[in-house]
Amino acid sequence: MRSLSPVLVAASVVALDQGTKAWAARSLSVGMSRPLLGDLVRLTRVHNPGGAFGLFPEHAGAFIAVSAVAVALLGAFLLFGRWRGLARAAGAVLLGGAAGNLVDRVRWGYVLDFLEVPGFPVINVADTAIVVGAGLVALALLGGGRAR
């Protein structure tokens, strides 16, 4: 039963990510932008075939391979590692984000992004989960010296 909770967290992140991307795909055409919270947050549909910030778009296959390895390693750490507490929850969020973007890469050959905050790249729920999850894993590691 101990292993089930991180799986449910990761699956919930993937479901939320894929659900919001499905909505964005239905509601926005590529390049279309409209305000969500005035000019503070906009909905802007972008297809990103590359890595973070759209880097290296010609290497989509490599990003699929790297993402698949990252998802497998995170899954193994969560199922068989000694991560506890915050590190375990954060790892599950990170796993869900990585898996959500991997689904896009395999399915479409790009990641669908749609949340735009001025001064930042356009992102999605999976990107947010990756950043938050990685930050919380780092915090847990710094706080206890080990992922416990």
What residues are annotated to the active site?
A: 113, 127
Residues 6 or more apart in contact with residue 18 via CB below 8 angstroms:
100, 103
* DSSP-derived secondary structure for 83-139: --HHHHHHHHHHHHHHHHHHHHHHHHSSEEEEEE-TTS--B-HHHHHHHHHHHHHHH
Residue of 97, 103, 98, 109 lying closest to 49 (CA atoms): 109
127 backbone φψ class: left, alpha, beta (φ>0; ψ -120 to 50): alpha
| CB distance 93 to 132 below 8 Å | yes
The H or E element spanning position 54 is none
